[in-house]
Amino acid sequence: MACEEDGINVSFNVDYSTNYTLVKAAVVGTTIDATSPEIETNTTDVFKNNSTNLDNISGATFNNLTISIVSPAGENFSFVNEVKVYIKGNGMSEELVASKSNIDQAATSVDMDVEDVNLAEHVKSGAFTLRTSVINDEALDNDLDLQADMQLKVTARAL
């Protein structure tokens, strides 16, 4: 984690990771959605170490977001050409945060193209979920265990 002081504001990075499952789909052209478990955002030590707290966040954007296939071994993203990822904070509406088109068919992980949207309210809600959405262009014979690794750049008022 890096910390930069900017007058009364601090900016720092927060890393999150979560695992979830994309269920198999035999019918081609089906939209397949996988939703992560809740990701707690109140990582007290991170905010404390940066002289702020969750309530003081004014901005948050993804620096990066990577979706990887964890299992079964040998699976890749050959079944899809586009992936979209949405975020939803507690009590909030869902918002598109990343997408990727023309995915390498042999890829087992995808570095998503992140949207330039302020996610402060999602983070301040205390927890968020990610929904990964794909339309399969070939049958998906197995459930896929996915992992999302992400880094948020957070800007907050210093205490």
CATH 1.10.3470: does it fit domain 15-41+65-148?
Answer: no
What local confidence, expressed as pLDDT, does residue 1 receive?
47
- Give residue limits of the domains in the chain: 15-41+65-148
* Predicted TM-score (pTM) of this structure: 0.91
What is the 3 state secondary structure string of the chain? CCEEEECCEEEEEEEEEEEEEECCECCCCCEEEEECCCEECCCHHHHHHCCCCHHHEEEEEEEEEEEEEEECCCCCCCCEEEEEEEEEECCCCCEEEEEEECCCCCCCEEECEECCCCCHHHHHCCEEEEEEEEEECCCECCCEEEEEEEEEEEEEECC
pLDDT tens digits, one per residue of 27-44? 999 899 999 999 998 776
What local confidence, expressed as pLDDT, does residue 132 receive?
97
Q: Is the predicted pLDDT of residue 26 greater than 90, yes or no? A: no
Q: Is the predicted pLDDT of residue 6 greater than 70, yes or no? A: no
What local confidence, expressed as pLDDT, does residue 153 receive?
96
